[in-house]
Amino acid sequence: MTANTDSSGSSTTAPRRRSTSTDIALIAAFAALIAVCALLPAIHVGAGLVPITLQTFGVLLAGAVLGAKRGFLAVLLYVVVGAAGLPVFSGGKAGLGVLTGPTGGYIVGFALAALLCGFLVERLPRGTVSRSVPLVFLAGIVSSALFIHTLGMAGLVLRADLSWTEAWNTDKVFWIGDVVKNIFMAIVATAVHRAFPDLLRRA
């Protein structure tokens, strides 16, 4: 089998190979960023079941910068690495027990939130992503609300034996922090897209 060639006779497999390599590097880099955000000192509030970390910043930034597919894969890689035993979850925890524990719903929600955030950012008009801080912020906060908070509360109900009211009372203290983190996420994401305007691929 021969490599495809363009009209000048040059091979087109090399650019494709470089593109795949770049995607893999970006996915791995953002998975590492999420791990770093998770391992920074956490603040415990209320009953202490759910710590406040910068994880959601890294998760939603992955979606907003890389788009739906690569953002989802970056978070999925982070989750798989943690489930496999590397201490990359909040507080240096690891293993499947974290995913099946009281905070497991939040971690499952991370991947879906990155997917939705990336999908919404990809749908912004071309050329506006780099200057659409309010819209990127909105994509992040909607994704966080629909998946991270909702699935997180579901996990508390199922695994911590809380009522939905108690789960909401535990979860609601994180909303102010999430608003602040999403503001910074939108600022950073738009800055990245100004510097690298071809980074985001639209499906």
State the CATH number of the domain containing residue 68. Answer: 1.10.1760.20
pTM of the model: 0.86
What is the predicted pLDDT for the residue at 130?
A: 86
Q: How confident is the model at residue 2 (pLDDT cuts 50, 70, 90)?
A: very low
Residue 200 resides in a domain: no
Domain that holds residue 77: 14-41+52-195
The better pLDDT of the pair 45, 97 is held by 97
Q: How far apart are CA 142 and CA 150, in angstroms?
A: 11
Q: Report how many domains make up the chain.
A: 1
Please say if the pLDDT value at position 11 is more than 80: no
Beta strands in the chain (DSSP E): 43-44, 51-52
Which tens digit of pLDDT belongs to each residue from 55-70? 999 999 999 999 999 9
* d(C-alpha 119, C-alpha 62), whole Å: 12
The model's pLDDT over 154-172, given as tens digits with 9 standing for 90+, comes to: 999 999 999 999 999 999 9
Q: What is the dihedral of CA 107, 112, 115, 120, to 10 degrees?
A: -120
Is residue 37 one of the residues assigned to a domain? yes
Question: 27 in a domain, yes or no?
Answer: yes
CB 68 within 8 Å of CB 192 = no
